[in-house]
Amino acid sequence: MTVVYVKMNRGRLQTSSEAKDQFDFAMEIAGLPEMNDERLLSSTVSNSPRLPGNRMTRSFSFLTGSGASQHSGAAMNRQITLFLGVLLFGFSGVVLADGGEKLTFNRNIRPILSKNCFACHGLDKKKRKADLRLDVAKGAFADLDGRHAIQPGNPEASEAWKRITTNDPDDIMPPPDSDKKLDAAERATIRQWIEQGAPYEQHWAFIAPVKPPVPKVMGAKNPVDAFLLDRLTREGLAFSPEARKETLIRRVTLDLTGLPPTPRDVEAFVADHSPDAWDKLVSELQSRPAYGENMARYWLDLARYADTHGLHLDNERSMWPYRDWVVRAFNQNLPFDDFTRWQLAGDLMPHPTRDERIASGFNRCNPTTSEGGSINEEFIYRYALDRTTTTVEVWMALTAGCAVCHDHKFDPLSTREYYSLYAFFNSAADPAMDGNKIDTPPILKLTTREDQARLKELDKNIAAVDEKIKKALAAVEYQDPAVQTPAPPAREVEDVWFEDGFPAGTKPRSSGAPLQLVNKADGARVFSGNVALRRQAGQGVEQDYFSGGASFPVPRRGKIFVSCYLDPKDPPQAIMVQFHVGGWKYRAIWGEEEKIPFGKPGTTQKVLMGTLPETGKWIRLEFPASKVGLKAGQKVGGYAFTQYGGIVNWDRLGVSSRVEPSKDPAWSYKIWVEKNQGKRNDLLPEGLRQLLRGKKADQWTKEEGGKIRSFWLTHVYAGNRDLLAPMEQEKAPLEKEKSDIEKKTPLTFVMADLPKPRESFVMIRGAYDKPGEKVTRAVPAVFPPLPGRPKDRDYNRLDLANWLVNGKHPLTARVMVNRIWQQMFGMGIVKSSNDFGTQGEPPSHPELLDWLAIHFMESGWDMKELVHLLVTSRAYRQTSRITPELLKRDPENRLLARASRYRLDAEELRDQALFVSGLLVPTVGGRGVNPYQPPNIWEPVAFGGSNTRFYKQGVGDDLYRRSLYTFIKRTAPPPFMSSFDAPNREQSCARRGRSDTPLQALQLMNDVQQVEAARNLAQRMLKNGGKTLDERITWAWKSVTARAPDPDELSIARNAFSQHLNRYESDEKAAVELVSYGESKRDENIKASELAAYTMVANLIMNLDEVIVRN
Amino acid sequence: MNTLLEYHQHLTRRRFFNGAGLRLGGLALATLGGKKAALGAGDVSTGKVHPPLPGLPHFAPRAKSLIYLHWNGAPSQIDLFDYKPGLQKFFDKDLPDSVRNGQRITTMTSGQSRLPIAPSQFAFQQCGQSGMWISELLPHMQKVADEMTLIRTVHTEAINHDPACTFVMTGSQIPGKPSLGSWLSYGLGSESNDLPAFIVFTPTFPKASQAQALFTRMWSSGFLPTKYDGVALRGTGDPVLFIKNPPGVNSGDRRTMLDALSRLNQKNYQRFGDPETETRISQYEMAFRMQSSVPGLTDLSGESKATLEMYGPEVSKMGSYASSAILARRMIERGVRVVQILHRGWDQHGNLPRLIKGQCMDVDQATAALIRDLKLRGLLEDTLVVIGGEFGRTVYSQGTLTKDNYGRDHHPRNFCMAMAGGGIKGGFTYGETDDFSYNVVKDPVHLNDLNATILHCMGVDDRRLSFPFQGLDQKLTGVEDPRVVSEVLA
């Protein structure tokens, strides 16, 4: 048994009421009767610090072994010893011959020095005062002008001891203005340590774990229990009884899948008395798709995953395939070493698979900007910092960010070492400005196998047409009119928009009878070509039209023409052509204007051109484009043939204009180049576009010039249009299909390095524009080294990843094991799961942590096995009941003498509501969805031009998907997430807070998704819950809490129900309002007042403390 | 949440670990030793749901509440507050290299072939007894000059909006740090038991303006617990999220449900003994109280005609700047600790003379009215009002300069902020810039200094309000020691 004694100065106790409280308290928590100081032990007398007179207030010692037997020593005057059972470290201290305990640097001394001294006497050279370093023995023992900060064994000769005990305000350490202060106990600890020879040791987290033997504890089958019980026994404690089976299945189902169990699950488990019932349950839960979804949530917090770029415009980015990969990785139980390699360096794996490349998106999840005015170098630098710091935090749980500006003050990480790590990430190929695009490169397109085959086929067919085009073009001798003398004369040209059908690639639509194209070969009336459009309208307005898929430029002084044939036997009363440029706003009408109601008469939206043309013959109608408001340069993206009644044949629609070939970019290549060089032209494909924009024509190589010219001849030159039209017609549907496939194909950001790495420097005080010393890729010296550098290349991210998981790194396995522990027990063995450094908290059970870490590696980094091991422990299955005694002794439950009880995460709360109400849509994966959100969350903060400015709430299934799939806009995260402590994913988060606020209560009571869920639960109560009120309440209670209500609870709920029913029976309107809230249809067969009352009871049950917590 | 208990437990933990478990403090012992005080909600001794941290305020505060009027997008100091009559003769001349001195400028103007000086088109007047120079664009604020200190030499490190907004509100360009309001809420708690400690408005702004984005991080609690988040009081929809009962549920129905809930949760507490259950019961009760207090807060029917007129015609339009301003006063009266109004649309890269007029129309009258209204009610001496943006604008024109049109680019090296009320001198101008409003020549005030000064007015020593995170005792004002600008203190 480990006993801690605190000796207090009796005199002070008598005069200080504060200390008296302490004393009383300490007695009480120790559960010991108040001791007469005459009975107290003396075995530490010889070891007690010799401090001057009354200045000594407290000293202490650690004893191992039977505390009780040591109490029967001789009397010790003026000292009392208190038993403190709440001390939370695992002790393995060495008992000295005199009964005192040997202090260890990491446990006893480092926390004091780190907090009080290292800021000025630590690793950071620049801030180091008096050239004294206290974090390593060499510095502390050094001869500084004949004095020694620490003289091992001799406090009086140690300058540090003098300085921490002096009364002189000029000399005292820490200096008064530092806001730091050593108290008497800390001073005494330091004294005792110096007396014991001031042994230093490396911080525990930097010493590789060694697998400790599993303590032999009666009845502990699971090693986890053995370690925990070993400690508890020494504290005089034990595990609490097992929780009820109903509690257990809810706990484990939530912990493993993020969802509660169904009543059927509960019944089956309660009825299963086989010895391996629990084991089977855990395995079954781990095999559900929901397992991966739940595990992924925690990882996505670490990866700072979100669906927008995060800075400035905060536009959408396509990153969700990475999120889905994380889910998949957990479900497929990808070993953690590969999980690490793929995310840090999937792109560098030999012949990377698709999943490996998707996983590399981990390093692309950082927030990025495209804010005008930003300085590229600054952001390239910031992204690399983010990636470095995140990697160090996620895999090593060290606060590397400190070393960006100065040597880490507390941990052995110098600025130089930091930037050597940064050098691994500083050559990322993504641009400084994300372009506010959904697909900031480098990206990976995730084409399906079928699509891939089809694309190949399409490419082949397109290439065949291209070949034909090439041949046709080769036969044409192009002479640039701009270089001809004399220049060719101006002439009239026609650009035909409709001939033999609607443009290829468009989706023509009709109102009225189906679209009808008639053929000359069949004897139909056709004006030109082979096919015309024919419409026999019944009564009223009918039309054929398209918008989108093709566009036609309006030339200067262009004239629109169209031919029509009006049936003399059944003429229409009005005809109209309409044009679409960002909207249907340009119309010409003949005949009875008011018959066709589109557009405002007297504006260009509706221009009356005259009476109906003559019937019984083809008439060419013609009018200046400007007359209907079309301006030169505008692109017509759609047109419509409209009529009121009658039969009309339509043919050959287009625009004519007079061109001067020598000045027209559609006829002269020279002119086109002059007008377009140095500018962005979206007509050009990727590659050529940059070339045209980036360089003037005189800088193009011959090859580049050739490419652009051939593009022009194919796509711009008007003189080839007739020649190429049939081939373009052939190609258009192929290209459309190709682009449709590409459009629907998901893409995701992936990591890649520049072909030529950037040089890396220590950036002075973290300024992006102040490079200092040059650095190369390397790992901090405190860790095992990287293997020898390959001869032919530098180290890369894959080397770094391999180094993290090579089994020798002291942190990787511990950090991950601790995180899973935190997930299953509510708090890590190292509570500061994001900081294993000297400023973090030491582990409550160091041996257990090390055992688990080694076991994890020995299992092949098997994550499912690790989770299984933890939740099948006896410790996990305890009741969470908190006795007043336990609350006092171990308020944070570090010793695990009971199970922890804490509020569910944001996602779990929402998913639980959807689940118990039957609304949940369990579809796995896909682009983020927009469930209910109160109005005006995005818009009041969004940039005007952002594509995430307005929240477009989803419909149908999108409202009821698991919260994991909710679209996360970083600058305005979903309220249901942020009010319940979900991070906004701006930076990596290892541990969420667990606040408890009135805003949460408001949300759980009033949010439409909660109320709608309550109503759906109420409908299920009425439908499936039995015949009587009691049966129904019991059924709902079981669905939500996994247990039946006791009679008292049932009666409270029953009472509430009758009050609600009374009220809603007298106010049917209110009842209808309540049960109509939400998009899902209410069950009309149930009387509104009854359903409303049940809804309120469901709302009540869903707000129970027991339901909000994981119990 | 039970702050006291949380604090005590926190303290206890820290002490155990840091001092190897040997330094039980009196407070922790008192709590854990079975004193009943701390297990319910809040601090029984003060009756507050959200009490201050022990030991806070550090010294007698000059102001109990803060109203922070953030004009987002960077208002032009040259056209509003930093009077430079000498510039007129430099019209369309190039900014001398000796002034710019190679300092970085944004990529929006770094490609311009020249940097022509654009003197302000607007006349300045000397105002009040002090003779403070204020632009004609702000005629109402001119009249309260004697209540204000004008600091002309505030500077920041960020040159673009996103990092600068993050910096001005959280003391860091990197997202993830708590906002000023969250720090104050964390340290000082709330005087109110039924309203949040920290409330934020994002009022509408003139439609003509191309507004920069805001970010919830400007009022988020960062690494502090989320209960210190600013609560955004909204112009449309529920003023506080989910404050309204669902349709068909009235206050009586909610009470019925809550009575049952409370009894059931009590039983649960008896079963599991979890103090958090009791906290939760009290949070549901607080939620219920908020449901009745918040709508009353936004109901202006009790305001006198004179008061409403003082704020201008938009005062009754929920979501306007003027309405936010009067609501800010009503909140301060009810014990809200921090109110922040974030008015957008000040980013005038082009067409500045036209656009800035609209912006000033939006804020001028209501800002002056707020100061006057607080003064009339005797609230000004306990309320600190801070006015300003995230950086300033350049003296040279972005884009084409003409006689009556110009634009201005971002300028982080000096800009103006005004302060009034609790602890601040009236009619005082501080700091000097050079003739081009381009460099500080006297009395620079870094944003960290400004924040330290704000904290100081609120009775907080910025060095002593910290929270351990990422291995550092994090502070609003960063790692270097800032300076409280004592010259501006009354």
Q: What is the pLDDT of residues B182-231, one digit of tens each?
A: 999 999 998 888 888 999 998 888 876 667 888 888 998 888 877 788 88
pLDDT of residue A78: 30
Residues of B in contact with A1068 (CB under 8 A): none
B463 with A179: Cβ contact below 8 A: yes
Residues of A in contact with B72 (CB under 8 A): none
Report yes or no for ipTM above 0.85.
no
Classify B72 in phi/psi space as left (phi over 0), alpha (psi -120 to 50) or beta.
Answer: beta
| Closest listed residue to residue A186, CA positions, set A160, A154, A147 | A160
B32 with A888: Cβ contact below 8 A: yes
The rounded radius of gyration (Å) of the Cα atoms in chain A is 39
Q: pLDDT band for position B20 (50/70/90)?
A: very low
Torsion of CA A685, A688, A691, A693, to 10 degrees: -40
Query: Are A349 and A798 contacting, i.e. CB atoms less than 8 angstroms apart?
Result: yes
CB-based contacts of A33, cutoff 8 Å, min separation 6: A27
B242 with A1002: Cβ contact below 8 A: yes
Q: Above 80 in pLDDT, residue A114? A: yes
Is A1001 within 8 Å of chain B by CB? yes
CA–CA gap between residue A338 and residue A863 (Å, rounded): 11
CB-based contacts of B309, cutoff 8 Å, min separation 6: none
- Provide the token pair at A1008: 């439409």
B267 with A943: Cβ contact below 8 A: no
Catalogue the E-assigned strands of A428-490: 443-445
CA–CA gap between residue B71 and residue B390 (Å, rounded): 8
Query: Are A894 and A842 contacting, i.e. CB atoms less than 8 angstroms apart?
Result: no
B471 with A1072: Cβ contact below 8 A: no
B470 with A1006: Cβ contact below 8 A: no
Q: Which residue blocks in A346-396 are alpha helix, DSSP H?
A: 354-359, 376-396
Parallel, antiparallel or unpaired: strands B338-343 and B198-201: parallel
B213 with A84: Cβ contact below 8 A: no
CB-based contacts of B13, cutoff 8 Å, min separation 6: A831, A892
Phi, psi of A113 (to 5 degrees): -65, -40
At A250, the amino acid letter reads: R
A residues 731..770 contacting B (CB < 8 A)? 769
CA–CA gap between residue A963 and residue B260 (Å, rounded): 29
pLDDT of residue A57: 31
A373: nearest CB among B30, B107, B196: B107
Q: pLDDT band for position A728 (50/70/90)?
A: confident
| Closest listed residue to residue A432, CA positions, set A758, A661, A736, A119 | A758
pLDDT of residue B473: 83
Q: A445: which strand partners?
A: A747
Residues of B in contact with A909 (CB under 8 A): none
Is A835 within 8 Å of chain B by CB? yes
Q: pLDDT band for position A101 (50/70/90)?
A: low
- Provide the token pair at A122: 């630590």
Q: pLDDT band for position A1016 (50/70/90)?
A: very high
Q: pLDDT band for position B25 (50/70/90)?
A: very low
Q: pLDDT band for position A41 (50/70/90)?
A: very low
A1048: nearest CB among B253, B267, B279: B267
Is A1075 within 8 Å of chain B by CB? yes
Q: What is the pLDDT of residues A461-475, one digit of tens each?
A: 999 999 998 898 888
Q: What is the pLDDT of residues B230-283, one digit of tens each?
A: 888 876 777 788 999 999 999 999 999 999 999 999 999 999 999 889 889 988
Residue A986: C-alpha distances to residues A310, A427, A983, B174, B480 (Å): 7, 22, 8, 9, 25
3-state secondary structure at position A941: helix
CA–CA gap between residue B167 and residue B171 (Å, rounded): 5
SS3 content of chain A, % helix, strand, coil (to 5): 45, 15, 40
Residues of B in contact with A946 (CB under 8 A): 213
Contacts 24+ apart (CB under 8 A), A497-501: A497/A552, A497/A636, A497/A639, A497/A653, A497/A654, A497/A655, A498/A533, A498/A562, A498/A639, A498/A650, A498/A651, A498/A652, A498/A653, A498/A654, A499/A528, A499/A529, A499/A651, A499/A652, A499/A653, A499/A654, A500/A529, A500/A530, A500/A531, A501/A531
Parallel, antiparallel or unpaired: strands B432-433 and B440-442: antiparallel
Is A235 within 8 Å of chain B by CB? no
At A544, the amino acid letter reads: D
B410: nearest CB among A367, A373, A935: A373
A998 with B241: Cβ contact below 8 A: no
**Per-residue buried b or exposed e for A634-672, using 16+ beta carbons within 10 Å of the residue's own CB:** bebbbbbbbbbbbbbbbbbbbbbbebbbbebbbbbbebb
Q: What is the pLDDT of residues A512-559, one digit of tens each?
A: 889 999 999 999 999 998 899 999 998 789 999 998 877 888 988 899
Between A795 and A160, where is the model more confident?
Answer: A795
pLDDT of residue A626: 94
Residues of B in contact with A115 (CB under 8 A): 18
Residues of A in contact with B470 (CB under 8 A): 399, 401-402, 834-835
Element spanning A644, H or E: strand A635-659
Is A880 within 8 Å of chain B by CB? yes
Chain CA centroid to CA B426, Å: 20
Nearest CA in chain A to B250: A1070
pLDDT of residue A147: 86
Query: Are B340 and B201 contacting, i.e. CB atoms less than 8 angstroms apart?
Result: yes
A1100 with B32: Cβ contact below 8 A: no
Residues of B in contact with A892 (CB under 8 A): 9, 13
Between B352 and B206, where is the model more confident?
Answer: B352
Phi, psi of B474 (to 5 degrees): -75, 140
A884: nearest CB among B107, B265, B273: B273
Mean of pLDDT over chain B: 86
Chain CA centroid to CA A209, Å: 31
Q: What is the pLDDT of residues A959-999, one digit of tens each?
A: 999 999 999 999 888 999 988 988 889 889 998 878 788 88
Q: What is the pLDDT of residues B411-437, one digit of tens each?
A: 999 999 999 999 899 999 999 999 999
Edge-first strand order for the sheet with A79-83 is A58-64, A2-9, A79-83
pLDDT of residue B29: 30
A residues 399..438 contacting B (CB < 8 A)? 399, 401-402, 408, 410-411
Q: Tell me how close the Cα of A792 comes to any Cα of chain B, in angstroms.
A: 38
Q: What is the pLDDT of residues A1025-1034, one digit of tens each?
A: 999 999 999 9
Q: What is the pLDDT of residues A199-247, one digit of tens each?
A: 888 889 999 999 999 999 988 899 999 999 999 999 899 999 999 999 9
Nearest CA in chain A to B286: A998
Q: Which residue blocks in A376-448 are alpha helix, DSSP H?
A: 376-396, 415-425
Is A146 within 8 Å of chain B by CB? no
Q: pLDDT band for position B12 (50/70/90)?
A: very low
Q: Above 50 in pLDDT, residue A49? A: no
pLDDT of residue A44: 33
What integer is the mean pLDDT of A437-454? 95
Parallel, antiparallel or unpaired: strands B231-233 and A902-903: unpaired
The per-residue DSSP string of B373-438 comes to: HHHHTT-GGGEEEEEE-SSEEEEEESS--BTTB--EEEE-S-EEEEEEETTB-SSEEE-EE-TTS-
- Provide the token pair at B251: 């206050």
Nearest CA in chain A to B236: A936
A residues 896..915 contacting B (CB < 8 A)? 901-903
Nearest CA in chain A to B287: A998
Nearest CA in chain B to A1101: B261
A314: nearest CB among B213, B410, B472: B213
Residues of B in contact with A314 (CB under 8 A): 213
Q: Above 60 in pLDDT, residue B35? A: no
At B240, the amino acid letter reads: V
Q: What is the pLDDT of residues A600-610, one digit of tens each?
A: 988 999 999 99
Torsion of CA A696, A702, A704, A707, to 10 degrees: 120
**Per-residue buried b or exposed e for A807-830, using 16+ beta carbons within 10 Å of the residue's own CB:** eebbbbbbbbbbbbbbbbbbbbbb
Phi, psi of B363 (to 5 degrees): -110, -25
Chain CA centroid to CA A219, Å: 43
Q: Above 70 in pLDDT, residue A71? A: no
Number of H helices, E strands in chain A: 37, 21
What integer is the mean pLDDT of A690-716? 86
What integer is the mean pLDDT of A725-745? 86
Q: What is the pLDDT of residues B378-396, one digit of tens each?
A: 999 999 999 999 999 999 9
Min mean pLDDT across A37-51, B86-100, B323-337 is at A37-51
Phi, psi of A161 (to 5 degrees): -60, -45
Catalogue the E-assigned strands of A832-977: 902-903
CA–CA gap between residue A25 and residue A985 (Å, rounded): 43
Nearest CA in chain B to A983: B222
Query: Are A82 and A24 contacting, i.e. CB atoms less than 8 angstroms apart?
Result: no
Q: What is the pLDDT of residues A826-864, one digit of tens each?
A: 999 999 898 998 778 889 999 999 999 999 999 999 999
B29 with A839: Cβ contact below 8 A: no
Nearest CA in chain A to B226: A981
Q: Tell me how close the Cα of B135 comes to any Cα of chain A, in angstroms.
A: 28
Min mean pLDDT across A69-78, A331-340, A869-878, B251-260 is at A69-78
What integer is the mean pLDDT of A752-780? 94
CB-based contacts of A143, cutoff 8 Å, min separation 6: none
B241 with A1072: Cβ contact below 8 A: no
pLDDT of residue A100: 56
B21 with A89: Cβ contact below 8 A: yes
A residues 525..584 contacting B (CB < 8 A)? none
- Provide the token pair at A261: 């169990």
CA–CA gap between residue B237 and residue B232 (Å, rounded): 11
Query: Are A827 and A894 contacting, i.e. CB atoms less than 8 angstroms apart?
Result: yes
Would you tell me the crossing angle of helices A1068-1075 and A1047-1066 to the nearest 10 degrees?
120
Is A1051 within 8 Å of chain B by CB? no
pLDDT of residue A131: 84
Chain CA centroid to CA B107, Å: 29
CA–CA gap between residue A613 and residue A575 (Å, rounded): 9
B213 with A901: Cβ contact below 8 A: no
Nearest CA in chain B to A1077: B247
- Burial-class residue A685 by CB neighbours within 10 Å (0-12, 13-18, 19+): exposed
Mean of pLDDT over chain A: 87
Q: What is the pLDDT of residues B431-469, one digit of tens each?
A: 999 999 999 999 999 999 999 999 999 999 999 999 987
pLDDT of residue A201: 85
pLDDT of residue B229: 86
Residues of chain A above pLDDT 70, percent? 91
Min mean pLDDT across A434-438, A886-890, B319-323, B359-363 is at A886-890
Within 13 Å, how many C-alpha atoms sit on residue A185's CB side? Answer: 20
Tracing tokens 């004009």 back to the chain, one arrives at B71
CA end-to-end distance (rounded Å), chain B: 37
Q: Above 80 in pLDDT, residue A149? A: yes
What integer is the mean pLDDT of A626-632? 92
Residues of A in contact with B6 (CB under 8 A): none
Query: Are A491 and A648 contacting, i.e. CB atoms less than 8 angstroms apart?
Result: no
Between B68 and B46, where is the model more confident?
Answer: B68
CA–CA gap between residue A738 and residue A854 (Å, rounded): 52
Tracing tokens 């019991």 back to the chain, one arrives at A1034
A1002: nearest CB among B175, B243, B248: B243
Residues of chain B above pLDDT 90, percent? 64
- CB atoms < 10 A from the CB of A612, how many? 18
